[in-house]
Amino acid sequence: MDFLIDRDVFLKALSNANGIIEKKTTFPILSNILIEAKDNKIKITATDLDIIYFEEILPQEIKKEGSTTTSASVLYDILRKLKSNVKVELTLQGINKLKLTSENSKFNLLCLPPDNFPLSDEDIKQKTIEIASNKLLKLLNKTKISISNDETRHYLNGIYLHKVKSENKSFLCGVATDSHRLSSSSLEIEPDIDIESIILPRKTIFQLISLLEQNANTIKMSNNKSKIKFEIDKSVLISKVIDGRFPDYTKVIPKGNEKILQIRLEEFKNSIDRVTTVSVDRKEGLRMNISKNAVQLSVNNPSSGEGIENISAKFNSEDLSISFNSRYLTDIASQIENENIVINLRDPGSPVLINDFSDKNTFHVVMPMKI
């Protein structure tokens, strides 16, 4: 194997693949990236056995076809430290040495045989659907904030993707919850599209978000009960899904929350940021004393002091006092598109429903806390 390639093109592809590879693994081959030079294309592959990622890039020249595997992190760091837009040549010497040369730099990298690299079947054998990249990116960003980190309930460690129908329309719906908060966002799809309900793992979600942020076109998606496949331009991401049953989240969506609080979004975010300064880990309870035209936000930390701030608001009910984990409100506020945040309440002990007037297909539910 011997080929020439632009450093920036190669580095970008390696950066995408590097997110898949585990830093610590008991199988040395999983720390490597598979490089294949064939048919005037360079194909790179990375896997952690749960996720596999392929990307095809164009070289400047392939002098000799072939394949090998070498350390992904070492190769990435070398390319990162080379000057931009330089030409890089990779030459396989024997079966266990890869020579990399660029201008005045030369490196000899150790290799492992490509035959040992674990590959999986790329064919999901299900109908492919096309989704606008920006719409799927929005869905993932708006729901990822509520993914649970509790490994004992693994079925909450991802986003539940499923098809729902509402008002004679069909939607791809994403839901995440950690049992203290819940986020749901949907995008409209064609009625005849069949989607297997699955739970998309956290690592896959963040890798997919990274890829979608680089792409402004459409993404192809197909899945079965055990795997899901995403095709983005010349990239393919295939992931196992979480084996588990997602709880019936519809039972926790508040109904009859008729006390409506409306606050200017930026003022709300900035005020929370200021009063939580006294909270070292930002997990102290945020108390909201709500009246008809104002909200008093306060945080009390026994070890550092108290922060209090009053902001204007609109409230259609009697005075009410309720407390929340401040980080939950900050996370949700970061995903609101409207200039106002709307909080639907019932009483101090019941979950609240938070809506975004600029996105009717998204909502959040938050449990209050006692302080």
pLDDT per position as a tens digit, 180-226:
999 999 999 888 888 889 999 999 999 999 999 988 789 999 988 88
At 167 the pLDDT is 82
- Mean per-residue pLDDT for 65-87? 94
- Mean per-residue pLDDT for 38-63? 95
pLDDT band at 281 (very low <50, low <70, confident <90, very high): low
pLDDT band at 166 (very low <50, low <70, confident <90, very high): confident
Ranges for all domains in the chain classified under CATH 3.10.150.10: 2-116, 129-251, 253-366
CATH architecture of 2-116: Roll (3.10)
- Mean per-residue pLDDT for 31-56? 95
pLDDT at 229 over 90: yes
The CATH number of domain 129-251, selected from 3.20.20.70, 3.50.50.60, 3.40.50.2300, 3.10.150.10: 3.10.150.10
pLDDT at 323 over 90: yes
At 215 the pLDDT is 80
Amino acid residing at 234: K
pLDDT at 97 over 70: yes
pLDDT band at 251 (very low <50, low <70, confident <90, very high): very high
Domain 253-366 sits in CATH 3.10.150.10:
yes
The reported pTM is 0.92
CA 183 to chain centre: 14
Q: Determine the Cα–Cα distance for residues 261 and 292; give it in Å rounded to an integer.
A: 9
Token representation of residue 358 = 């600029």
DSSP-assigned letters across all residues of 297-363: EEEEETTTEEEEEEEE-EESSS-EEEEEEHHHHHHHHTT--SSEEEEEES-TTS-EEEE-TT-TTEE
Average pLDDT, the chain: 92
* 184 within 8 A of 173, measured Cβ to Cβ: yes
At 143 the pLDDT is 97
